[in-house]
Structure 1
Amino acid sequence: MRTYPVRVEARLEEPLNRGLWIVKWFLAIPHYIVLGFLWIAFGVLTVIAFFAILFTGRYPRALFDFNLGVLRWTWRVAYYSYGALGTDRYPPFTLGPAPGYPATLDIDYPEHLSRGLVLIKWWLLAIPHYLIVSLFTSGSAISWGSDLPDGGGVLYTLDWGGLIGLLVLIAALCLLFTGRYPRGVFDLVLGMNRWALRVVAYATLMTDAYPPFRLEQGGHEIPRPDEPPSYPRTPRCEMAPPPSS
């Protein structure tokens, strides 16, 4: 069994405050400011990593760890605020994994990356995913110079609007009037976020594994078999050989 090398998971922390979501934009301002600077660094380091991969076939480990930390931080803030509203626990100010936080993101470090793919995967090969993810977001899922989810950036950023924004708004209204986050809405929001973040990781050169075209809903990754399952063959009726004389 295996999972895609970009793993996005989260758990819904209930009960959630009915009205806290109204002011989360204000509470998250310190994170927005820090993420703005972090994404400038992310963009610069991604360009450096591009040339490193092109000439050596390797993504420098220190650069990879930093950029992974930026994606982790971004996902935690998005999950707390308007990318999901899945927790009222304030996000930690750290680039590290923060395993105790209810939203996690991890990417397997690639020992080797294709020198040829680095030239085309971030624009040509990813176009089908850009078209799909743009429906989940506000139409600028991955672009130059747009805003981050709950932050700002320079290179390859996400803007959680579109279907994600609509579903999160529905969840917010349900919280306000019923105090509950509909589980079906949560599962769908997580599936869309997972798809979008996989595409971001692929487009920013952190993996050569092409993102799958499937909406994996729910808070946890589902391991997939390495090969299609094998089924027992129907036994054939064979004549026994005649006894030798």
Structure 2
Amino acid sequence: MTTTPAAYDPVRVDAALEAPLSRWLWLVKWLLLIPHYVVLIFLWIAFMLVSVVAFFAILITERYPRPLFDFNVGVLRWTWRVSYYGYGALATDRYPPFSLGAEPDYPARLDITYPERLSRGLVLVKWWLLAIPHYIVIGFFVGGYGSGSCGGGLVFVLAIIAAVILAFTEKYPKDLFDLIIGLNRWVLRVAAYAGLMTDAYPPFRLDMGGSDPAVGHDRGTGGRPF
């Protein structure tokens, strides 16, 4: 199944590889991120509860209440920044802020366009039935449903490989970075769809690179379809 990048305009994921990176900080980032992991546990519980409320709101009104939408976007942003600093990428040494906001100066960014209308019919099936093929794929990527922030799966393995190469060469391999961001972008697109935040079905396509190749936005030229 393929779609054009335009079909994925609502979800935009960008990242900038920072340099220089510490050769050994990655060994202790799991410890440094414990406060974030604790907060994220509660944020994801809230995310699930908010999604349930949004489900009924969409079913009745065809709208995702804007305050609830903004909160859940914030949870995904927070998760993505933690993942990027931690073992979902290990591509920055800038400690992630404790924030639900956009934080445009941070090297990992996520934005989702607010939908004016959402389908009542799709809300009944997209988060479980329609998303099943993607759940299988991203389960391989991250070792379970999530963003890879806590490790596991292909993303974690590739990030560790990149960190080991960095330790010996002082350079993070650019091609490996592009692949890791592409995998994370796929996971975050599915998270937004399963979270009822868009009706745009995630494409089975790996858009690699730090700049999101979504059509209609100034995303640069870093994204490369795989």
Instruction: Tell me if both proteins adopt one fold, taking TM over 0.5 as the criterion.
Output: yes
| 1:75 and 2:66 correspond | no
Structure 1 residue 40, shift from structure 2 partner: 1.1
Matched residue SS, 1:8: strand
2:125 is aligned with 1:120: yes
Instruction: Give 2:134's aligned residue.
Output: 129
Whole-Å Cα distance in 2 between the matches of residues 162 and 70 of structure 1? 22
Deviation at residue 14 of structure 1 after TM alignment: 0.8
CA deviation vs aligned residue, 1:103-130 (integer Å, no higher than 9, x gap):
0000000000000100000111111111
For residues 77-126 of structure 1, the C-alpha deviation after alignment (integer angstroms, 9 at most, x for no partner) is 00000000010001111100000000000000000000010000011111
> Counterpart amino acid of 1:193?
N
- In the alignment, structure 1 segments of 5+ residues that lack a partner are 143-147, 151-158, 226-245
Partner of 2:201: 210
Matched-pair contact (CA < 8 Å) for 2:181–2:208? yes
Specify the SS of the correspondent of 1:116.
helix
Which of 92, 104, 107 is the aligned partner of 1:99?
104
Alignment match, 1:48:
53
1:161 lines up with 2:152 in the alignment: yes
Amino acid at match of 1:194: R
From 11, 19, 24, the equivalent of 1:19 is 24
The alpha-carbon deviation at position 183 of structure 1 amounts to 0.6
Please give the alpha-carbon distance, in whole angstroms, between the structure 1 residues aligned to 2:45 and 2:212. 30
Aligned amino acid, residue 145 of structure 2: A
Which one is further off, 111-120 or 160-169? 160-169
Stretches of 4+ moved more than 6 A in 1? Answer: none
TM-score, reference length from structure 1: 0.83
Aligned length: 211
Larger Rg belongs to: 1
Structure-1 residue corresponding to 2:9 = 4
The one-letter code of the counterpart of 1:124 is L
> How far did residue 221 of structure 1 move?
1.0
1:239 is aligned to none
Select 2:66's aligned residue among 61, 66, 72: 61
Is 1:195 the counterpart of 2:186? The answer is yes
Amino acid of the structure 1 residue aligned with 2:100? L
Per the TM alignment, residue 160 of structure 1 is displaced from its structure 2 partner at its CA by 4.1
Contact 2:148 2:156 (C-alpha < 8 Å) held by counterparts: no
> Residue 223 of structure 2 corresponds to which residue in structure 1?
none
In 2: Cα distance, 1:160 partner to 1:128 partner: 21
Using the TM superposition, give the Cα deviation of residue 223 of structure 1 relative to its aligned residue in structure 2, in angstroms: 3.5
Measured on the aligned residues, the alpha-carbon RMSD in Å equals: 1.5
Question: Are 2:178 and 2:209, in contact at CA under 8 Å, matched by a contact in 1?
Answer: yes
* Structure 2 contact 77–109 (Cα < 8 Å) conserved: yes
Q: Distance in 1 between matches of 2:158 and 2:34?
A: 23
Give me the whole-angstrom Cα distance separating, in 1, the residues matched to 2:162 and 2:71: 33
Shifted more, 126-135 versus 98-107: the winner is 126-135
TM-score by length of 2: 0.89
Counterpart of 2:174 in structure 1 is 183
